[in-house]
């Protein structure tokens, strides 16, 4: 329990620190490019933990890892601050002295850096291959939306709306997008006979809250198909206990130590629980019975130990891996980032219109929990999680709320419209209002996280 808690905390700090660093680095680099004098580059808020000063810029790591900031020279303090900078170092202009375009570029650079990071992460994932179970329909409940739409057992989803789906993860993202946007979803499936068919799923009355609380499968009234794979060896890893024992591709496992093996899950369960113990395995090979002795090697996974012999099963019928070339992966990564950004905006609009409950918001505890679970699922899952959070961070920072980048953009736009700087009193009021709004959202999200932990 303590180890799991530490993993979640460390994963949260690691993910947030990376995303905040990327965000603030966007502001920092474009500010320097525009000739603005940067005073402080901070990762985190609150008390300074450590840091250093170089070329008149102070680089800080602070105690609270929930954000960061880049402090730039203001025209009111320009003369005094410039005087503090040694003559041999480059001096810069105050942010307020810059053109409207330059100020907007500096502010937009932070969110754009987060979107760019998401594109890079998705790009990498699409190149190396993103795997997941194929979206194949299992049991269908009577009088459900799935039954009404004509879905049948064994149908495999090909697309939802205009979005192609290859895995259940892709299906869920596309389905949530459809719920946010339409009263019906056009889907295309491949039937068990191999025919492509289009179907319409009625989403009238389906809310995001319902999908969030019950799950998409419960809302639609079907379950993903449960597929028990045969214990048929697909590959034998070189130098593994299985190769040394004489396993060969195409072998079918019939029994282990006299226990009948009917599926791949039976095989992995017995092998996994017998790390270091010699096993008598009965194989069927080209119609003949072959007996082999194998001792599973010990593999450490967290605090637990498992047995492994070094064989794989053919997952092609139930598992899809999205692998693309470098150029096509880049295009898909851009489209994926755009899709997730639009979904986030739709969700926020539903919140504002009171069409979605604030219960769907997640705060630091929820993010930490998801980060910890992603770490347990593997490196690629963690990268996918980072991409999603990076997109959310980018979108939220563009909202026209004082204290956020979007709020500052609103200020600059108002100043351009009225032709003079906003009063200090107006700015202070806006900052206080923004602080109240953000603190309220933070408290609601954290409260939701605590409630979910109690469940």
What residues act catalytically?
A: 24
How many angstroms separate the CA atoms of 8 and 436, rounded?
A: 28
Rounded (10°) CA dihedral 37, 40, 44, 48: 180
Task: Tell me the torsion sign for CA atoms 242, 247, 248, 252.
Answer: negative
Beta strands in 286-394 (DSSP E): 288-294, 297-301, 304-308, 311-313, 319-322
Q: What Cα–Cα distance (Å) separates residue 403 from each residue in 15, 19, 52, 408, 431? A: 22, 18, 26, 7, 6
Evaluate whether 161 touches 176 at the Cβ level (below 8 Å): no
What are the backbone angles phi and psi of residue 20, rounded to the nearest 5°? -65, -40
3-class SS of residue 93: strand
DSSP for 242-270, written as a single string: HHHHT--TT-EEEEETTEE--SHHHHHHH
Evaluate whether 212 touches 196 at the Cβ level (below 8 Å): no
Q: Is 166 exposed, middle or buried (0-12, 13-18, 19+ CB in 10 A)?
A: buried
Encoded tokens for 65: 């890892």
3-class SS of residue 320: strand
Evaluate whether 234 touches 316 at the Cβ level (below 8 Å): no
Ranges of H-type helices in 48-160: 78-84, 100-128, 145-149
What are the backbone angles phi and psi of residue 57, rounded to the nearest 5°? -110, 130
DSSP H/E element including 19: helix 2-34
- What pairs with residue 131 in β-bridges? 321
Length of the chain: 455
């Amino acid at each position: 329990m303590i180890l799991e808690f530490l993993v979640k905390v460390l994963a949260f700090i690691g993910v947030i620190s990376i995303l905040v660093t990327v965000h603030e680095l966007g502001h920092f680099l474009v500010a320097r490019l525009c000739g603005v004098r940067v005073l402080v580059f901070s990762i985190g808020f609150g008390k300074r933990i450590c840091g250093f000063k170089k070329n008149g810029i102070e680089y800080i790591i602070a105690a609270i890892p929930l954000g960061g900031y880049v402090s730039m020279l203001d025209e009111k303090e320009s003369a005094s601050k410039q005087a503090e900078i040694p003559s041999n170092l480059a001096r810069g202009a105050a942010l307020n002295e810059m053109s409207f375009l330059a100020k907007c570029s500096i502010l937009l650079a932070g969110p754009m850096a987060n979107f760019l990071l998401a594109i890079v992460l998705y790009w990498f994932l699409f190149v190396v291959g993103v795997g997941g179970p194929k979206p194949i329909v299992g049991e269908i409940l009577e009088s459900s939306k799935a039954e009404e739409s004509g879905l049948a057992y064994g149908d495999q989803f090909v697309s939802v709306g205009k979005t192609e789906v290859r895995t259940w993860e892709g299906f869920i993202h596309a389905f949530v997008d459809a719920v946010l946007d339409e009263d019906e979803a056009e889907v295309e499936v491949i039937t068990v006979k191999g025919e492509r068919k289009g179907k319409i799923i009625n989403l009238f009355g389906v809310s995001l809250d319902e999908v969030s609380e019950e799950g998409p499968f419960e809302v639609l009234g079907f379950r993903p198909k449960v597929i028990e794979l045969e214990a048929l060896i697909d590959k034998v890893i070189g130098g593994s206990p299985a190769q040394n024992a004489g396993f060969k591709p195409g072998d079918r496992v019939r029994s282990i130590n006299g226990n009948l093996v009917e599926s791949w899950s039976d095989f992995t369960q017995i092998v996994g629980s017998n790390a270091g113990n010699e096993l008598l395995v009965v194989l069927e090979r080209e119609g003949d019975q072959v007996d082999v002795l194998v001792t599973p090697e010990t593999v450490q996974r967290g605090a637990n130990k498992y047995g492994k012999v070094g064989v794989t099963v053919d997952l092609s019928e139930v598992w899809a891996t999205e692998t693309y070339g470098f150029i096509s992966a880049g295009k898909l990564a851009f489209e994926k980032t755009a899709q997730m950004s639009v979904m986030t905006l739709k969700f926020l609009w539903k919140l504002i219109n009171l069409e979605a409950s604030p219960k769907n918001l997640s705060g630091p505890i929820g993010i930490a929990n998801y980060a910890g679970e992603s770490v347990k699922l593997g490196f690629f899952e963690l990268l996918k999680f980072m991409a999603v959070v990076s997109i959310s961070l980018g979108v939220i920072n563009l909202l026209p709320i004082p204290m956020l980048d979007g709020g500052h953009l609103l200020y600059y736009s108002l100043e351009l419209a009225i032709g003079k700087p906003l009063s200090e009193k107006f700015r202070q009021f806006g900052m206080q209002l923004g602080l109240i709004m953000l603190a309220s959202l933070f408290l609601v999200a954290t409260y939701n996280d605590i409630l979910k932990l109690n469940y």
